[in-house]
Structure 1
Amino acid sequence: MRNLVMTMLTCGVILLGCSKDPVDNLLSEEPTKPVTETPSDTASAERAATTAAVHKAMPLGSDAAPFGYYVYTPAGYTKTGPTFPVIIFLHGSGEQGNSKTNPADLDKVLTHGPPSMIKKKTWAPSHKMIVVSPQCHEGWWDRDHVRAFIKYISVTYRVDPKRIYLTGLSMGGFGTFDQLNSYDDNQIAAAVAIAGSGVMNATFTKRISKVPLWVFHGQDDRTVLPDFSKQIVPAVNALNPTVKAKLTLFPGVGHNSWTMTYSGSGMGKENPSYDPFKQDIYTWMYQFTKP
């Protein structure tokens, strides 16, 4: 019996020596690498998240700005990074609202122009720009409040102070002209006024001659007649400004001349007797800086 037990123990030892425990097999194999980001991948993802383009609603009262507004910051924008040109877009009368009492009102500013293009993902200027779209809640664009808003934006965001551009349609076109008319020391490097109007006088003409201006209007506009647009541009150019003012008219087009202007779809549809529309307005503005 003793011999039998010893024989069985010996065989067990031999068997253990000839095979590995399943745990030993797992440990001896090349471990499977988990599908996780490396620290560098994580950092890259974080950087991408913080520098992606953002279109943010800022209801009236959410900061110290005199208007509620939408602000678009392009990819690459950070609070401590490089500065960018900025476009201030003034909407028309139909997009007014008070986002302090009704935050949903602010979405009205996404109806036309650059903020609409951003919403539809068709915004693709040749140079990255910040786009700020304030909402009028006062019945009309108050010149002093618009000026204060532009100053606020220029110090709150990473704005290139030499590249502040202003554009507006209809009531916003009035507001654009009014801003150029009101101050000798305005911050605007270039402006585009669409389907707007203003007050014709010598002081205005002299002030506006200091700012590169491109005016667009539908020739058949019966809401805001194109008369002022057709008068102000030659009056400015009579002063021999450093940059001549431009006027582009669309024959057969009524009040809405802004969609074809902002999108560029009006190129080739302009009246050949006036300035051609061969360059998008964003590239045109970008070439000008304010000393």
Structure 2
Amino acid sequence: MKTLLNLLIISPFLFLSCNNDDTIPEENQNDLESLPKDLGGAHKAYTLDNTNAKFGHYIYTPSDYNSDSFEYPLLIFLHGSGERGNSETNPDILNKVLVNGPPKLIAKNEWSPKYPMLVASPQLPSGNWNPEDIHDFIAYLIANYKVNTKRIYLTGLSLGGFGSFNYISRYGSEAYTAAIVPIAGGGSKNSGDKFTTIPVWAFHGDNDNVVSHNKSIDMVNAINTANPNTPAKLTIYPGVKHNSWARTYNGSGMGDESNTYDAFNTTIYDWMFMFEK
């Protein structure tokens, strides 16, 4: 991101962060380094009528998950509006959650974060992501899987980006998550003080004609105005429409971002690993 002086010249209302130290602190790596390398795990589907969870979902477990006693970081992915469906009445509809984001990378054998993670991809039957339902779903995962509760991360695109922001707006420091990555989303500008202990890295395309990139700008400004422990970050892709998520989840957007905002100079997964609850 440019200097504060340049930012003020561009817009007197823009208060975005500039954090170039995106390496995992050494003291935050010990629990990660002890985890066995993921050589390709299992990606299982649980339809709504075949789970006690709030949602039908896919769950990815790393290769050595069942043969060790380690607790793993957990990533929850919230899909967009086009992937909603009721897997209780139509089991095949659960496969819609595989069309974007981490579950797509897993399905294509392109999932390779630096450290192994559990990945849960719930499916919303209808409507919007409800913060209470997200909270209950995470509680279910904690109760049923070997989760490192200090390392729970949340990301979502479009409708799921709103869901990610709204989850923290509702729960604040009581949220399970250590950090969130909302993409092409937005939220309540009046809830910036709820994010003071939850790091945020938002992404958006500046030509998004479905959800204006101003919604991400407004949220990041509101959060940073509340002086969070970790300044919220925002990466903007020039000329990119609504689908700003594919290049973010697979990392291919690195180098294509606007230099007016935060640089995309590390994977979102490595950035998540910087933070513990």
Which TM-score band (shorter chain)?
Answer: 0.7 to 0.9
- TM-score by length of structure 1 reads 0.80
The answer for unaligned runs of 5 or more in structure 2 is: 1-38
Relative distance call for 1:143 and 1:101 in structure 2 (3 A) is same
Indicate the residue corresponding to 1:98 in structure 2.
86
Q: How does 1:237-276 map to 2 (within 5 A)?
A: 237-276=224-263
Q: Report the 3-state secondary structure (helix = DSSP H, G, I; strand = E; otherwise coil) of the residue aligned with 2:189.
A: coil
Structure 2 counterparts to residues 153-168 of structure 1, below 5 A: 153-168=141-156
Instruction: Report what 2:210 is aligned to.
Output: 223
Instruction: Decide whether aligned partners of structure 1 residues 215 and 52 sit closer, same or farther in structure 2, where only a CA change above 3 A counts.
Output: closer
- Give the superposed CA RMSD: 1.2
TM-score of the two chains, using structure 2 as the length reference: 0.84
Letter in 1 for 2:242: H
Q: Equivalences for 1:66-215 in 2 at 5 Å? A: 66-78=54-66, 81-184=69-172, 185-201=174-190, 204-215=191-202
CA distance in 1: counterparts of 2:189 and 2:229, whole angstroms:
21
1:52 deviates by 5.9
Identity rate of aligned residues, in percent? 48
Question: Equivalents in 2 of 1:156, 1:227: separation in Å?
Answer: 39
Contact 1:67 1:136 in 2 (8 A): yes
Q: Is the 8 A contact 1:218 1:257 kept in 2?
A: yes
Measure the CA separation in 1 of the matches of 2:196 and 2:161. Answer: 17
Figure out how many residues of one structure are paired with residues of the other and give that number.
238
Distance 1:141 1:239 in 2: 25
8 Å CA contact 2:204, 2:236 repeated in 1: yes
1:166–1:192 CA contact under 8 A, matched in 2? yes
Q: SS at 2:137's partner residue?
A: helix
Structure 1 segments of 4 or more deviating over 6 A? none
SS in 2 for 1:61: helix
Structure exhibiting the larger radius of gyration computed from Cα positions: 1
Question: Is the Cα–Cα contact under 8 Å of residues 56 and 71 in structure 1 kept in the other structure?
Answer: yes
Matches within 5 A, 1:19-30: none
Q: CA offsets, 1:58-108, max 9 Å, x none?
A: 111212101000000011102762110010000000001111111100000
User: Which runs of 5 or more structure 1 residues have no equivalent in the other structure?
Assistant: 1-50
Shift of 1:241: 1.6
